[in-house]
Structure 1
């Protein structure tokens, strides 16, 4: 057990973070105040002030054992990136001193040539800049024996164009702050001066024993199983969900929590998820920028701690076909600097004008820009998950629940008059207390559900950066809030309330089609959604095509989040990533099929053929062996043909240079060929002798610990 594990939690939490408490202790008051003005008011940070902060950071980090610092940023790969530099500076006497300047803190210069740019720059144009994001705290992280100070940063090109996922998120936060405070002021709020979007990110993941992963090329390079016959027992008994946590997994979780707590990440909830070997961790809410950084750190820590415990953490959205995939539920809200949650309905939401205005802003934004929300969660891996029995379909709709739907209908009819009141649940046992009944149930099938004081966007995939979904959500809501502010500011004080109600009524009528409280999984809903005119972008290629629509370009430019060239670059990058991921899967599948599965099948068929000859020579008719041999040979032939078809499909897709057309070929030809190959291989798995089969099975990976 490490020394940190013996510390009280109150001492351990945030011990590796240069947080507000550390700054108060280590910085001069004038420097601390100047820094807070930069964070809270956006005032420029003077270089002399930055020098003092940098020196204090260096001293703090060195005390924790750090020898290096790095600018930590989020390029368009979806992962994080870091370039390490030591604190050492040589002296004329041939010795060294530990130094760190404000300039080194504020700006870095990593090589940008090998990161995705979507055509914004040529490969030979190598210069890029990282800029310190002072709204997300600096932290130290220990990897092995190495301790490094990490500086969260934005990442831009030499010409100032956005090359990362953090910059548009920060811009979108400024947009929603500006427009939300404007609406609050128009509504008569005189106490709130800032609005921040907040996020609570639930993270689902699988744990598989490392010895099994090491024997499967698909898990090593693609993070998911490309082959595998369904096990005799899956999740049909619902016995894993919220079940007892196995001791080895519990030890892993205890270590994981300690590592996250040291980084100031408020890991709070942990439990077994629906599928065997699947789990979930969730933190307390934080500002959306910090929450996104924390989620990236959580994914990195999950992988590292899992290895230390002999596991591999799988974050792919669908690592096991036929079983629940993993999502990342995005619980989003807005709060003011004086402590108000703008999506908290209060006890009488029908009388809460402020709440209703912000509620309708979100509804209007989701309906107007449903295609953008769908695109924000689009990926080849998430396509495996969306629409299955544990994830919402690709159709964007809003779940409000009984209470808010009732109010919505009242507003649509002319004005709210009442709210459904909470009741009491009587359990019929004298020793059990009466429980307050919520005014609405939860809808796990809805992609965008109101859940008490926030919206839960359930579509993001487990391996995704949450920057994309949240900068889209911030941007579209900010745009609607700007529209509402312009209207409200013109309302007469004599008829103010009725004018606001009239505006909300217009929105209620216009956006009624996006409200749906039923089962989103049914075929009936898909037909009804089509009749309502809701978009159904079933795959990533269809979703990405919406990025260059004029309305979508305009909303990002109006809110100064992305310009048209930056948006176009993102579209190209996402097409290329889609094709690249599928190409990796296809090549891994071909490798496994030709070098492992086909040889095993041929070897077993040879054994069966020998058995046929042996039994026949004894004068007995080997009817069962012959039947098995015929079926084996037919399936081997199917497998061989499927290998050829996949090779041809990959060759065709690889020769297409235009990103969108290449992605379409992977969708239309490579995926069907991979499916056919898997069907043949999985059928063979069910026939071949277990002693000959070369791959760990689903049962091995899901149930052996």
Structure 2
């Protein structure tokens, strides 16, 4: 196993590497910047840049790039060579502290929600020293934030870092009430990544997959996932070779790829990493998605990260496991001593309050064009936000709300009557796959996030909302005398839990009765992205972002506009592709097959065998009726699409796409898919689900 451990992190300029390559004084001063917020001196930056360059050159790197996350949701990079001409026909290699700390990419051509005009092109990338640099494809990649010339955040990393500062500040205030003063309080995340692997040949033959990432047409396969034989089944050799290659690439980048297995749907798989601090975890997940696609191409495969590439079988999510901790403890671990239990209850209460108060924002964080097809489709939680605690924690919370819990002030002992809490073990809850936000022992699993998403949004909103709830706790309890604190803390939790108990639900989220019950409770139910997006600019939510120092009003509006624009563009692409494919690929083939059947009928009847041709006549009638229905459905979709395109207001356009165009698309798909069941296999113009999903 020595070779395996030696391989890990070889392409990462990690802290271990810095300790070896930087002078001790430089490393100490850099650590002070990272841990204590001390200003970064230029001489430190120069020393780090030189060491980073020398290390990267040893690994074959020829260029460096500031690697950042624009509002498109993916990553971007501009490569600059290390070479510097010296004027006599020779060159040296150079990478300065200034080049490390700050870059200047064009800021006008990235999504910006109107914050920048085309003629206002200047923007800046700023080194994020908390996420290590790495070498990828012979390029030294330096993780950075991205902002405009006027200082507004134009990326997903900056607000996430701000939210980490907010939750660190407020959590420390609460922990001080328990006599604890940690250096840092940091959210940790582990993102379970689901994905599909299909043959490249089949992918290339499906224009809808190539353009849209999902099949816009396709009848159900003869066999789907109903036998439940794929889940955790033996991994086929083709996929196993891919997984081993992927692991090797990820381990070299210091990404702790840990678990991999077959998922429920055929051709679907999952990769899960070990937890890491949220900022680094987000960077790692973006690299995971990039590497998944690149490695697949080397194995004659294509990796699909769309949330619903195939209708009728499970789609793909990204289960965002979130926890909060210090250098010494996990604050969401119930623990085994009474005082720790009281602390746990306080932090649990903050999370419950946060999810209830800002359920619309959490729903928004998981909203996307692709995820609209997945949420609530019996493989993912519904669009209604709720929290699952499990039987034991539910009993604890109920006892607190009922006033059955008390505190013995002299010892700070929390007495819950049945004394359930001190006996809680790490895996103290069952799993509820229908819950969007489930407690799973010492963390919460946010299951709604889609497979293709950049999880910065979800974690930024979760961090910010919990920070706000912790601030409320600290504001209320900091003035309380020490001997009264345990009792006052428990009373605060009781009031808060009673006020937010509506968000707690342990039942079947797929059941229609829950939708009715949720409505009675006053929980939001934004079924589509278009319905969810206005939450970004609701006054209550803008006030949250501003109070916590995470987003300004203009930055919040910018993100709303960018999300709207992306949704409308994706829906336009899908509708346009669907119309073109139905008209130019499917309808001509169906017509040609109908013509063949008609000619066959005519020839056989001419031979005097008319009585035997009733089934063929029925088939011809179905084909002709289907062609008519397809023509009508194309016209209906074109009309709805034109109506959407004519909307000058982006939100109204999104509403039209979500509620009018999508219905017309579903109708067209249904008519074409019905013909797939009739047309001869050698006539059908594209690989079917049976062809795509089942290969050796």
TM-score tier after normalising by the smaller chain length:
over 0.9
Of 580, 589, 594, the residue aligned with 1:600 is: 589
Whether contact under 8 Å (2:426, 2:441) holds in the other structure is no
Whether contact under 8 Å (1:421, 1:439) holds in the other structure is no
Q: Shift of the alpha carbon at 1:349?
A: 6.5
Is 1:660 aligned with 2:655?
Answer: no
Count matched residues. 683
* Cα offsets for 1:507-551 (capped at 9, x unmatched): 121111111111111011111111111111111111112222211
Is 1:48 aligned with 2:43?
Answer: yes
Task: Determine helix, strand or coil for the equivalent of 1:653.
Answer: helix
CA change 1:258–1:488 in 2 (3 A) is: same
* Cα offsets for 1:340-372 (capped at 9, x unmatched): 100000135686111111110000000111001
Match of 2:170 in 1: 179
Match of 1:381 in 2: 370
Q: Shift of the alpha carbon at 1:164?
A: 0.6
* Cα offsets for 1:369-416 (capped at 9, x unmatched): 100100111111101000111100011111111111111011112223
Match of 2:190 in 1: 200
Q: Shift of the alpha carbon at 1:438?
A: 4.5
Is 1:359 aligned with 2:348?
Answer: yes
Unpaired runs of at least 5, structure 2 = 406-415
Is 1:543 aligned with 2:532?
Answer: yes
Moved more, 193-202 or 538-547: 538-547
Whether contact under 8 Å (1:229, 1:698) holds in the other structure is yes
Whether contact under 8 Å (1:349, 1:355) holds in the other structure is no
RMSD, aligned CA: 1.5
Match of 1:430 in 2: none
Is 1:301 aligned with 2:291?
Answer: yes
Q: Shift of the alpha carbon at 1:654?
A: 1.6
Whether contact under 8 Å (2:428, 2:440) holds in the other structure is no
Whether contact under 8 Å (1:349, 1:356) holds in the other structure is no
Whether contact under 8 Å (1:133, 1:154) holds in the other structure is yes
Alpha-carbon distance between aligned partners in 2 of 1:439 and 1:134, rounded to the nearest angstrom: 37
Alpha-carbon distance between aligned partners in 1 of 2:53 and 2:421, rounded to the nearest angstrom: 55
Whether contact under 8 Å (1:403, 1:419) holds in the other structure is no
Match of 2:667 in 1: 676
CA change 1:591–1:255 in 2 (3 A) is: same
Is 1:286 aligned with 2:281?
Answer: no
Of 210, 213, 216, the residue aligned with 1:223 is: 213
Is 1:127 aligned with 2:122?
Answer: yes
Match of 2:410 in 1: none
Of 378, 381, 387, the residue aligned with 1:392 is: 381
Is 1:258 aligned with 2:248?
Answer: yes
Match of 2:683 in 1: 692
Match of 1:12 in 2: 7
Match of 2:60 in 1: 65
Q: Shift of the alpha carbon at 1:493?
A: 2.3
TM-score, normalisation: structure 1: 0.95
Alpha-carbon distance between aligned partners in 2 of 1:35 and 1:417, rounded to the nearest angstrom: 51
Is 1:613 aligned with 2:602?
Answer: yes
Of 522, 544, 547, the residue aligned with 1:555 is: 544
* Cα offsets for 1:62-111 (capped at 9, x unmatched): 00000000000000111100000000000122101000000000000111
Q: Shift of the alpha carbon at 1:202?
A: 0.3
Whether contact under 8 Å (2:341, 2:421) holds in the other structure is no
Is 1:165 aligned with 2:160?
Answer: no
Unpaired runs of at least 5, structure 1 = 1-5, 425-435
Of 136, 142, 151, the residue aligned with 1:151 is: 142
Match of 2:113 in 1: 118
Alpha-carbon distance between aligned partners in 1 of 2:217 and 2:338, rounded to the nearest angstrom: 51
Q: Shift of the alpha carbon at 1:279?
A: 0.1
Task: Determine helix, strand or coil for the equivalent of 2:498.
Answer: helix
Q: Shift of the alpha carbon at 1:668?
A: 2.2
Match of 2:313 in 1: 323
Is 1:80 aligned with 2:75?
Answer: yes
Alpha-carbon distance between aligned partners in 2 of 1:679 and 1:343, rounded to the nearest angstrom: 47
Whether contact under 8 Å (1:350, 1:418) holds in the other structure is no
Match of 2:204 in 1: 214
Whether contact under 8 Å (2:393, 2:421) holds in the other structure is no
Task: Determine helix, strand or coil for the equivalent of 2:250.
Answer: helix
Q: Shift of the alpha carbon at 1:187?
A: 2.2
Alpha-carbon distance between aligned partners in 2 of 1:68 and 1:546, rounded to the nearest angstrom: 42
Is 1:629 aligned with 2:624?
Answer: no
